[in-house]
Amino acid sequence: MIELAAQNQTVRLLILLAIFGLVAAISLFVLNVANRRIAVRAQLDKLESMDVITATHGESLRSRDTASAWSRMAEYVEKAGLNLTDTKSERLTALLRQAGYTSSAAPRIYTLIRLGLIFLLPIGYILLAYSSEEPPSFVRVYVIGSVLALIGLYLPNLYVRAKADRRREAIINGFPDCLDLLLICVESGLGLEAAMDRVGREMAVSHPLVAELLSITTLQLRAGASREEAFRRMADASAVDEIRSFSTLIIQSDKLGTSVATTLRVYAAEMRERRQMRAEEKAHRLPVLISIPLVACMLPTMIGTLMLPAAILMIRRIFPLMVGGG
């Protein structure tokens, strides 16, 4: 059998796929058992903290958002017996919300994509490698397949984090303009809810993420939520320090009975100062960033230009004298 495997490429490919499938099946079985235990433990914790009623109501309202193909695929996979619940579901849900994925099925779809990439990338490489005229060695296939599996494991995480950072940066850049418009609307006589609604509709094209946050908060206030609850939800959904500070100021102003216009005016001035400081910081970083291409590209060229005449002079005059004198 060993001699046959050493001589026949097809037998070696089948043995490799069988080993890979066995390791994958064992890994999925262990992950499934661990996820089931974690899910049962989480349900017991919910029962102990008496939060089951609110959790089931939230899930029943969000269970209709399963029209996409990815959510249906995740449901089929879970019905087949594979639990897609992540061990750190709360942290993962918060990260996906920061990236803009607010669906209830987003954590399961994320886990499904990671599992799919872990297997699809190595299998695709194996098929491409053994379809060529000179198939690679077993060690090379094993090493590259392992690297591709690790890439498939961490690539969705990097993509979600990068998207969350871009979304956070867009919110930070658009919030000062939003604050100035809110101040103008409040000082002109509108209430805070009407001002947020007006600014949200006005900034739907220029800053859609900030407009979405304001519109959702306005709808929550109209639905009967308290001002404190609505603004705390807006701060959690944005995950931006400036909006957290703004929500805290509005809540404190509402509790203490101070003027909302005065609060917005003071905070708008602080936001303009922060934006100016960020611009100055980026401007001060430019010389350091410019020095890298300067040293790597321009400095060798300048040194070569300055040293070339001296090198030619030494080759033409000094070196012949040294050779002749020797």
Residue boundaries of the structural domains of the chain = 2-51+69-135, 169-276
DSSP H or E segment with residue 268 = helix 260-293
Spell 166-184 as b/e; 16+ CB within 10 A means b: ebbeebbebbbbbbebbbb
Q: What is the DSSP letter of 51?
A: -
Structure tokens given for 45: 């914790």
| pLDDT tens string 13-53 | 777 777 877 887 887 778 777 777 777 676 666 555 433 33
Query: From CA 105, how far away is CA 53, in angstroms rounded?
Result: 20
Answer yes or no: are the C-beta atoms of 214 and 172 closer than 8 Å: no
Query: From CA 32, how far away is CA 174, in angstroms rounded?
Result: 43
Structure tokens given for 294: 């300067």
Structure tokens given for 62: 């969000």
Residue 102's Cβ-side half-sphere holds a number of Cα atoms within 13 Å equal to 8
Nearest Cα neighbor of 247 from 260, 264, 232 is: 232
Query: From CA 211, how far away is CA 201, in angstroms rounded?
Result: 7
Per-residue pLDDT tens digits of the chain, which is 326 residues long: 556 555 666 766 777 777 877 887 887 778 777 777 777 676 666 555 433 333 333 343 343 444 367 667 666 666 666 666 666 677 778 788 878 777 777 777 788 888 888 888 888 888 888 787 777 787 888 888 888 888 888 888 888 889 888 888 888 888 888 888 888 888 888 888 888 888 888 888 888 888 888 888 889 888 888 888 888 888 888 878 888 888 888 888 888 887 888 888 888 888 888 888 888 888 888 888 888 888 888 888 888 888 888 888 888 887 777 776 54
Query: From CA 79, how far away is CA 127, in angstroms rounded?
Result: 30
Cα angle value 259/261/267 (rounded, 5°):
105
Query: From CA 9, how far away is CA 4, in angstroms rounded?
Result: 9
- Residue whose token pair is 């992950």: 31
- The class that CATH gives domain 169-276 is mainly alpha
Spell 233-264 as b/e; 16+ CB within 10 A means b: bbbebbbbebbbebbebbbebbeeeeebbebb
